[in-house]
Structure 1
Amino acid sequence: MSNPDKPEDGSDLNARLEWIERDARLTEKFRRYFLEALRVDSEPGQATDQKDDSREVKSREDYFREMILIHSGKKIPKDLDAIQRIKFENKILNDPATRHRVIFSQWPRPVEGSSKTYITEENSVLGKMTPNRIQHWGASLFDFYRTQRIPGLFSLSTITTGSKMANWCRENGEADFEPARQLIEWQDQQPDPKVIEPCDIQQLIIDQEAYVHGPTWDKAREAKRGQLEKLTPEDWKLPEKWPPKSLFDPAAYPKPYETREHFSSEFKQWPWLFQTVPRLQQYIPQARLPKKLMVHDPWQLLRASGDRIDKPTKSKPWSEMTDIVHTYKLNLSEKHDARRKEDEEEAAKLQAKEKEIREKFLADPHSRNELPDGIAVARDDGPGPVRPHIFYVLPPKPPLAAADEAHLYLSPAAAIGIGNHSFVYHAEFEVPRSFLVEERLCMECVKEDLEELLSDKDNGINGKKVDPKWEQKIGKVVIKDESKGPLYLSIANREGEGLAGKDCRYLIEEGRHLLSADYEGPLRIFHSRVKYQNLERGQYCKHFRQHDKYIHPLTTMTRVAAKLSIQYDEHLKRESDNYQRFPKHFFEHWSGFNIIRPLHHPVPVGPIVPQFYGYYVPDNDSEAAPAGEEEYLSPILLVEECGKPIKSEELTADDKSECISLILRLHDAGWVHGSVAQRNILVQPGPLSGWPVERGLRPSIRGGLRDEWSFRLIDFGRSMDFEADENGSMRGKQLDAGFHERKQVMDWFNDFEGLSP
């Protein structure tokens, strides 16, 4: 029997809203979902006349605040004054049990009877995904929705994403349904998944070098230069034998770098806020890892024989110890080389692509082709016909170098922890500077070179040998309007008394007025004669030599975690093999969020495991065995430092979901951890892309509850990849182990109480 109050035309948005608001069959929860989804004050890409709307405008952050409060399930007393209300709301927001990552949008379906299409597993379509292939991915919380599987059956809903649902609507005839059309248009403008890189290690290294006071290559100079004293020629006078045979040669260190104290007290006291040694967090392809590792071990920690060092000796500074150096070599698995080959193929493709772009452009220098690295110089103002622009082609950028040798420094004062089979330390990892810092192009040299080329009497702008066509207006400048209107949303009042939108609205996306002037036409080519500079090859140019930050060694110091194992134990070797077998997305931080079954809340798509920096074993060809029994030296697994073990009672509801998601993502990729324990889930302030000072200040956010933690799984000596089980004989064991691990993790995180009454 039809409902006379129900709108006949499903595309009438206002009528649909009115029907939803008064339909007695809908629960308050579902009514709220619909109203939140459909009440759009302006469409994406469409400007709104601000003069016709006098309501108060609130921010995107205010919108999220309202959504979090609505979905918290907590009732705010109506008799509170404004100040009391804010305090009560903040109490809810800062409660560890309050989720901040919630699904607050509803994808509209046509009213009952206007569509016979049900959403089923058989007609499901894919949306945007990261390489982990988990189907529910969204660039932001706005990209997650609940929707009806059967139109009109509000009690049967499912979780979906905007890109997934937009594709489904196109394939199933609902793309023209007006409320859905608006959301499809919105989704088409949302970004694709992308890798979020960690904090720029190059800039951290350069900043660290800039803090060194009075660097000089003049080793005979006794006093440091004052802050106001200028550089002298002696400061830049490199040693006579340059470049040195080894980047680690004492002659390759300017003063005062050669006197640096390892494991300084500053590092111990302020591990986050004032890092003198940057942490290595970047993904390093295995082919670039150092082949030889010189391990400096004054306390003989490589014996991995337990805590046999007395307290006075343990607390001695590095300078008072006699250095003991061992030679190690990189030991990568010959069997588990799939990711190594993928990385090499990816690097080769990238290099070939850059070469193709360059060669195609030089064969046809025109704006219709993709431009190589270079600088465009306009000769006339636009818009309209203009003389061809000049394009100054820069040399190809050299890739980061592979490292033949690196040095590792170990100290008992930097111990992280002791396991049943292993010892883990903070370690200082000294690598060639060119391993992490790209070669530099001096823009002052580029400017001088370009000016000289343009003024050349034969081939310059007005040179004698210049083709007359370059003086004709055969190009044009086109003005393009890339403006975009703002997006506003209103939401239902959480007390159910009218709409918050009657008094205010929320600016979700800023509008922008943007005009671009694009050149179209042929380009006149000039080739740069300036080369990239690397101190390993020779002295810097005169412009770089004006700044003492360019007086630096050929190596740089970073921080990693070094894991050692006791004698006759194979866990460390197996763990190394597993690191080499893990798919690349285990190490990557992707933008946006995933929803992973059986969780119902979005979680970030951060890395699952620490970065892998190599597995090293003693080089017996270089190590002279002592008289008598051969001394045991532990193999070394180098990985990224990822923080401290979690304590579940200190985590928020969102944090707990994120920890669970790491195990679920591991299982989804066909792996079982084999040693799930809270000590094997690490936490550190985030985001990984943030600067150290920013991450150090995270504890002050949200009343001490970190807004962004970074979590990671560790300890993979017992982990198993059942996808590699070709005959499937281990499938049952995988299911049992996976079920046990899921249950174990879920039990940890279901033990907290909500907001006290």
Structure 2
Amino acid sequence: MSEPSLKPDKRHDEWKAKQQAEAHKNAEQLKAKFSSLSVDELDRRPVRTIQDYLDWIALEHARNTTPPAVGPDATPEEKAADNERRLIAPTTKHRTISQVWPRDPNGKLIAPGETDGGKMLPNGIDIWGATLFDFYSCNRFPDIGTIIVYTSGSRLAGWMKRNGELLAVDQLGQAEREADPVEILPWPVAESFKDVDNRAIMFSHGIGGAKTVEFGIGEPFQEMVHCPRLQERIPFHLLPKTLIVHDRYACLSAGRDEFHDAEEKWDEKPDIVSVYRLELSEEGMKKVNAENEAIEAKKRQDEAALAAFLANPTAENRPLGRGVLCVPPGLKHGPCPPATFFLHEPAPVREPFEEAHLYLSPNHIAGQGNHSFAFNAHWEIPRNMVVDDIICKSCVVMTGMAMVIEEDGWNGESKSPKWKELSGQIIEKVEVFGGVSASVYTERGEDKLDENGEAVTYEIEAPSEKRTRKYQGPIRVVHTGVKYQNREDGPLCEHLRKSREQWASLTGRVSVVAKLSYQYDSHLEKEAKNYQEFPTHFFQHWSGYNLMRPLHEPFPVGALVPQFYGYYVPDDEIPPKDFYRKDGPLAAPGDAGREESGSSSVEYRYRSPILLIENCGTPVCATVDEMNIDDRQEIATLFFRLHHAGWCHNSAYTRNVLRQLGPINDFPLARMCNANNRSDMRQTSFRLIDFGRSEKDKDGSGIAYEEGKVCKTFRVGMYEDRPPGWDGSD
């Protein structure tokens, strides 16, 4: 039998030619429209804000999901009220891909997999953009508008440059200006400690008197004493090795019948103290070793950089974070004498911590499940664990200037001639950015009018002018010998004592979640091992947005799981003991003011291991039906990101998703204010919890099943049009 011959289809060629002609016609109409617009005409248009532009995009995308309820003849007030209704509707998407990357009609096919090489995060998801304006829809075939790729500007720009397609000048420029990914760090608990110290000053508790680390000063769980949440990552090698657990109500038994609500004040009952030890898995120990190796590698790198700098001391190769560069004021652009670099000592490496204390109360239960209890606990830690040592730049400059005066003389009479030569250079630059604005047109070049029937301009980025002044060339190095300061090492210098850097105590209490397991249940131990096996990017917050299947909209990239603060098991060699507060003249603050009874008033039939994790808020189960589509999609992407890394949660329920006010890097009071914003402008942080059943999925079958379950549970993907309360039965 002869093989069938493949002949060209005449109808297809005719259709393709028609499509190309239409594309060329539209392109020419757009060019004609743009060339006919004068600057004066554009300047006369009303200028709207970037938020107005985002609102307009959301309303355009919501014409089917949240259609207008008023007609074109409605009053401006009625239209504005209807727009507000549509913008806050839970069916309206605000994270959409609205930008279009135009193609050269003579361009090549963008084949699948050819847009590799764009900006990425450590999570390995291919597509990342700094803003919603950095995502594009683009025709794979220049002349076929029905086959589209959704991707980032950095990936498209790379493909276009490699293939010589440079038609989209504005889009290429936007890709060049796009910011790089940045890790977003939570609001530092060190700043919250400053507020605690200010209250101590306000209530005349004194400040700066403590000379050694003293635990147990003040009662835990006081309503008038703020206990900030710890949300920063603690490296594995810095986790305290010993945990002293204060358990006045036998919470460690992890049984509701074993303890009752606390009615007395904390100090009115004996303090039942248990000693726990940090237990790390094999994966946890690998991370400890990797962290220590990274510290040693950085130390060698810093030493090499310093040696290279001292061999050729110039401003260009000076080591960052090792000194203060001083350029004489008043110098103009052009040649100048060498600047002076006051070198200080390096920041000390933080050493592992031996001890921390944990306080449990039955009045602060965070949750109860089939396998465990979770408590909102107070964790008292050495402040050095979360507060960096400080370099006083005033001390550095004053010490350095004194050394220069001693060597050069008060008026520079003995100054070396080489420090007077005009061997340096002051460089002043002015960078002018014209800004970015947008006007909206149809494919045929016709203006898309706003709700008032006007053609408007949206200001995306305002024009700006940036002036920089920097020194280049040789520098004079002065070894000041000034060291970093730490309150534990003694009093701070007078400059820091006048600032907010002074401490009321050498320890600090933070709020964490302590998870306890029922007896004979292994879920907690497995969960702790999973936390130690999770990759680092599970715990990181990143700027920008990712885009991944099965969804078609960008989503924020916060941490996936709570921070891990250790898994602790009872030290069976040290039995629990009672401690009482001393009375009379022998009384003292903290542990020094307690006396041991020698035994415990409670006989534990069982003491649970303790998993310490970050407090990430409350479950979404009571609010998921009222959530908008953006939040539901963001929650679903937590599971999808878990799947992308090869993990299956195996308990994909609403109770295992937590929410808290955001943004995570903002001051707590600012987060509360953020909660009052319009629903689509609120920033909420979501996190997955409960990994006692989670495991690596070897063949992908579990992930495939769970992906479908997540889409149904949170009404996303093919189920996003289902009504609230839908149970997935149809």
TM range (shorter): 0.7 to 0.9
CA contact (8 A) 2:229 2:511 kept: yes
1:97 paired to 2:91? yes
Distance 1:41 1:599 in 2: 40
Pair 1:13–1:351, CA change in 2 (3 A) = farther
TM-score, normalised with respect to structure 1: 0.82
1:284 aligns with 2:234: yes
Are 2:59 and 1:69 aligned? Answer: yes
Q: 1:433 aligns with which of 370, 383, 396?
A: 383
State the Cα distance separating 1:209 from its structure 2 match.
1.2
Structure 1 segment 497-516 matched on structure 2, within 5 A: 498-500=447-449, 503-516=455-468
Deviation, structure 1 residue 451: 3.2
Which residue matches 2:504? 552
How far did 1:141 drift?
Answer: 0.3
More strand by share: 2
Give ranges in structure 1 of 5+ residues lacking alignment: 20-38, 43-47, 216-223, 226-230, 251-257, 268-275, 723-729
Q: CA deviation at 1:575?
A: 0.2
C-alpha deviation, 1:587, in angstroms: 0.6
8 Å Cα contact 1:339/1:583 also seen in 2: no
* Paired position in structure 2 for 1:15: 29
Q: Residues of 1 paired with 2:182 and 2:346: CA distance?
A: 25
Equivalent of 1:139, from 108, 130, 139? Answer: 130
**Could you tell me which residue of structure 2 aligns to residue 22 of structure 1?**
none
Structure 2 CA distance for partners of 1:410 and 1:377, relative to 1, 3 Å: same
Tell me the residue number matched to 2:702. Answer: 734
Equivalent residue letter for 2:182: K
Do residues 200 (structure 1) and 166 (structure 2) align? Answer: no
Alignment partners' CA distance in 2, 1:461 and 1:395: 28
**CA shift at 1:521, angstroms?**
1.4
Aligned to 1:678: 654
Q: Does the 8 Å CA contact 1:492/1:498 hold for their aligned counterparts?
A: yes
Rounded to whole Å, the distance in 2 between the matches of 1:325 and 1:699 is 40
Maintained 8 Å contact 1:427/1:559? yes
**Structure 1: distance between partners of 2:503 and 2:129:** 46
Aligned to 1:655: 631
Alignment partners' CA distance in 1, 2:101 and 2:341: 49
Amino acid at match of 1:183: Q
Deviations 1:8-30 (A, max 9, x none): 979x96634569xxxxxxxxxxx
Partner of 1:410: 360
Gaps of 5+ in 2: 1-13, 578-598, 725-730
Whether the 8 Å CA contact 1:297–1:410 is kept in 2: the answer is yes
Whether the aligned pair in 2 keeps the contact of 1:339 and 1:584 (CA below 8 Å) is: no
| Mapped partners of 2:702, 2:259: distance in 1 | 42
Per the alignment, residue 728 of structure 2 pairs with none
What percentage of residue pairs aligned between the two structures are identical? Answer: 34
SS in structure 1 of the partner of residue 465 of structure 2: coil
Question: Residue 25 of structure 1 corresponds to which residue in structure 2?
Answer: none
Provide closer, same or farther for how the CA distance between residues 168 and 549 of structure 1 changes in structure 2, counting only shifts above 3 A: closer
Task: Give the alignment partner of residue 152 of structure 1, picking from 131, 143, 149.
Answer: 143
Residue 489, structure 1, aligned to residue 438, structure 2 = yes
Instruction: Compare 480-489 and 277-286 and name the one that shifted more.
Output: 480-489
Letter in 1 for 2:694: S
CA separation of 1:545 and 1:648: change in aligned 2, threshold 3 A: closer
Matches within 5 A, 1:232-251: 243-244=211-212, 247-248=213-214
Question: Of 82, 91, 95, which aligns to 1:88?
Answer: 82
Give the Cα–Cα distance (whole angstroms) in 2 for the partners of residues 638 and 467 of structure 1.
Answer: 60
Contact 1:139 1:592 in 2 (8 A): yes
In the TM superposition, 1:325-404 aligns within 5 A as 325-373=273-321, 374-379=323-328, 381-404=331-354
Match of 1:472 in 2: 421
Q: Which residue of 2 aligns with 1:59?
A: 49
CA distance, structure 2, for counterparts of residue 459 and residue 622 of structure 1: 65
Q: What is residue 220 of structure 2 aligned with on the other side?
A: 262
Specify the SS of the correspondent of 2:102.
coil
Aligned CA distance change for structure 1 residues 563 and 53 (closer, same or farther; 3 Å): same
Which deviates more, 621-630 or 276-285? 621-630
Specify whether residues 736 and 600 from structure 1 end up closer, same or farther in structure 2 by C-alpha distance, changes over 3 A only. closer
Q: Secondary structure of 2:531's partner?
A: helix
- Aligned: 1:640 with 2:614: yes
**1:667-718 deviation line (CA, Å, top 9, x unaligned):** 110000011111001111111111111111233111x566211111000000
- Residue 5 of structure 2 aligns with which residue? none
Taking the aligned partners of 1:490 and 1:40, their CA distance within structure 2 comes to 14
Check conservation: 2:129, 2:545, Cα contact below 8 A.
yes
- Paired residue secondary structure (1:515): strand
Q: How does 1:522-537 map to 2 (within 5 A)?
A: 522-537=474-489
Partner residue, 2:592: none
d(CA) in 2 for partners of 1:751 and 1:124? 32
Calculate the TM-score normalised by the size of structure 2: 0.85
- 2:253 alignment partner in structure 1: 303
Task: Tell me the alpha carbon deviations over residues 30-66 of structure 1, each in whole angstroms, 9 at most, x when there is no partner.
Answer: xxxxxxxxx8999xxxxx9789723222211111111
Q: How does 1:105-124 map to 2 (within 5 A)?
A: 105-111=99-105, 114-115=106-107, 117-124=108-115
Q: Secondary structure at the match of 1:109?
A: coil
Instruction: Please report how far the alpha carbon of residue 534 of structure 1 lies from its aligned counterpart in structure 2 after TM superposition.
Output: 1.4
Look up the SS of the partner of 2:307 in the other structure.
helix
CA distance in 2, matches of 1:209, 1:338: 38
Deviation track 1:480-516 (CA, whole Å, cap 9, x = no partner) reads: 232221111111489x984349742111112221232
Q: CA separation in 2, counterparts of 1:619 and 1:4?
A: 76
CA shift, 1:518, in A, is: 2.1
The reply to whether residue 188 of structure 1 matches residue 176 of structure 2 is yes
Instruction: Note if contact 1:214-1:548 (Cα within 8 Å) is conserved in structure 2.
Output: no
Taking the aligned partners of 1:596 and 1:521, their CA distance within structure 2 comes to 47
Q: What SS does the aligned partner of 1:91 have? A: helix
For residue 666 of structure 2, give the secondary structure of its aligned residue in structure 1.
coil
Give the counterpart letter for 1:668 in structure 2. Answer: H
- What SS does the corresponding residue of 2:488 show, helix, strand or coil? coil
1:107–1:402 Cα change, 3 Å? same
**What's the CA shift for 1:351?**
3.3
Amino acid in structure 1 at the alignment position of 2:458: Y
- Give, as a single letter, the amino acid of the residue that structure 1 aligns with 2:614: E
1:539 partner SS:
coil
Letter in 1 for 2:440: I
Q: Secondary structure at the match of 1:53?
A: helix
Instruction: Name the CA distance, whole Å, in 2 between partners of 1:346 and 1:41.
Output: 60
How far apart, CA to CA, are the structure 2 residues paired with 1:709 and 1:104? 23
> Aligned in 2, Cα 1:492/1:676: closer, same or farther, shift over 3 Å?
same
1:713 aligns with 2:679: no
1:541 aligns with 2:493: yes
* Corresponding position of 2:6: none
Aligned 8 A contact 2:636 2:711 in 1: no
Secondary structure of the 1:572 match is helix
Q: Which amino acid aligns with 2:88?
A: N
One-letter amino acid matched to 1:309: F
Corresponding residue pairs, total: 673
Residues 60 and 41 of structure 1: CA distance in aligned 2, closer, same or farther (over 3 Å): farther
**Shift, 1:630, TM fit:** 7.0
Contact 2:649 / 2:694 at 8 angstroms: preserved in 1?
yes
Kindly tell me: are residues 740 and 161 of structure 1, through their superposed partners in 2, closer, same or farther at Cα, counting changes over 3 Å? Answer: closer
